[in-house]
Amino acid sequence: MKAIKVLVSTACFMGMAVSTHADETAALSIEGQDFTIQAAAPAHAENLDEVTSGWIYRARETQALQLDDFDNPGFVFVDQAIDSWNEVDGTEDKSCASCHENVEDFAGLRTTLPRVEDGKVVTMEDLVNSCRTEQMGAEPWKYSGAQMIGMTALIGLQSRGLPMNVAIDGEAAEFWEQGKELYYTRVGQLDMSCSNCHEDNYDTMIRADHLSQGQTNGFPTYRLKNAKLNSTHGRFKGCMKNIRAQPYKVGGDEFKSLELYIASRGQGLSVETPSVRN
């Protein structure tokens, strides 16, 4: 177990972070399917011994909401996305189902995203909007809008229980390095980086918040705080605001590279989409 840790910037949290330690005996099983919520850290996450799901750091009442799909409030938005999947839109009079038929065929896709194609980082949101504009002749959805988040949750759900496995070699290496640099760069009035909270001080209480490793395997995630599904880039934006930094553009190159890097830090953890967090 880690020793009690103190935040680097006490100006941010006005005091010491109290170590609470995650429950190492916790187990996540949904509909009879067991999930990997703790795993040996990948070699490229050189400052971690193991990677852990954010589910571990939540209160038992919050954890329980994810154990049953009927209780998981994120499924309200997944159900809405099923309607969107079958809805004809655009000049080509097509729906998602017109080309892809069964959404279940996307099993495994979530585990490999983001990925790099033709010199660009491609996210699931990019794939959805590419289908809408190029195949359906429809308007693109807002990158972190409700329709997009619901659809990415529906598609991500098909990979639930499968291990994250994004590629970071080959043409992805350049963007992975960019994401790593962003992860460790201090920004904002509080002069903090992602690593200050999610690497140096995870498993500590900051006021009422139990810090996690900031893994993204559960996104889109339903947050009790705002009672809706939240996107990965939306969470990045929120974190940057918390440290009084100017957020990068949602759907922009910086957040895409950061998403790739952080996803790689969770290699081996099961996809939990849609997860439930505070």
Question: Does 31-70+168-277 match 75-157 in CATH topology?
Answer: yes
- CATH classification for the domain delimited by 31-70+168-277, as one of 2.30.110.10, 3.40.367.20, 3.40.640.10, 1.10.760.10: 1.10.760.10
Q: Is 239 considered catalytic here? A: yes
Question: What's residue 11's pLDDT?
Answer: 35
Rounded-to-integer distance, Cα 16 and Cα 53, Å: 24
Q: How many CA atoms are closer than 13 Å to the CA of 54, on its beta-carbon side?
A: 27
> Where do the domains of the chain lie?
31-70+168-277, 75-157
Check whether 198 has a pLDDT greater than 50. Answer: yes
Of 6-20, 149-163, 176-190, 227-241, minimum mean pLDDT range: 6-20
Which helix (H) or strand (E) element contains residue 63?
helix 60-66
pLDDT of residue 9: 41
Instruction: Give the fold, CATH level 3, of 75-157.
Output: Cytochrome Bc1 Complex; Chain D, domain 2 (1.10.760)
Contacts of 256 (CB under 8 A, 6+ apart): 114, 121, 123, 175
The whole-number pLDDT of residue 19 equals 54
Calpha distance 243→233 (Å, rounded)? 16
Binding site as annotated, residues for heme c: 96, 99-100, 131, 194, 197-198, 239
Q: What is the pLDDT of residue 26?
A: 79
Which residues define the annotated binding site?
96, 99-100, 131, 194, 197-198, 235, 239
pLDDT of 72 over the 90 cut: yes
List CB contacts of 59: < 8 A, sequence separation 6 or more. 278
Give percent of the chain above pLDDT 70.
91
**Based on C-alpha coordinates, what's the Rg of the chain?**
18
Catalytic entry in 6, 48, 107, 239 = 239
The pLDDT confidence band at residue 18, using thresholds 50, 70 and 90, is low
- Residues 142-162 have a mean pLDDT of 99
Whole-structure pTM value: 0.92
Task: Render pLDDT for 120-131 as a digit per residue (tens, 0 to 9).
Answer: 999 999 999 999
120-122 vs 209-210, strand pairing mode: unpaired
Output the pLDDT for position 25. Answer: 73
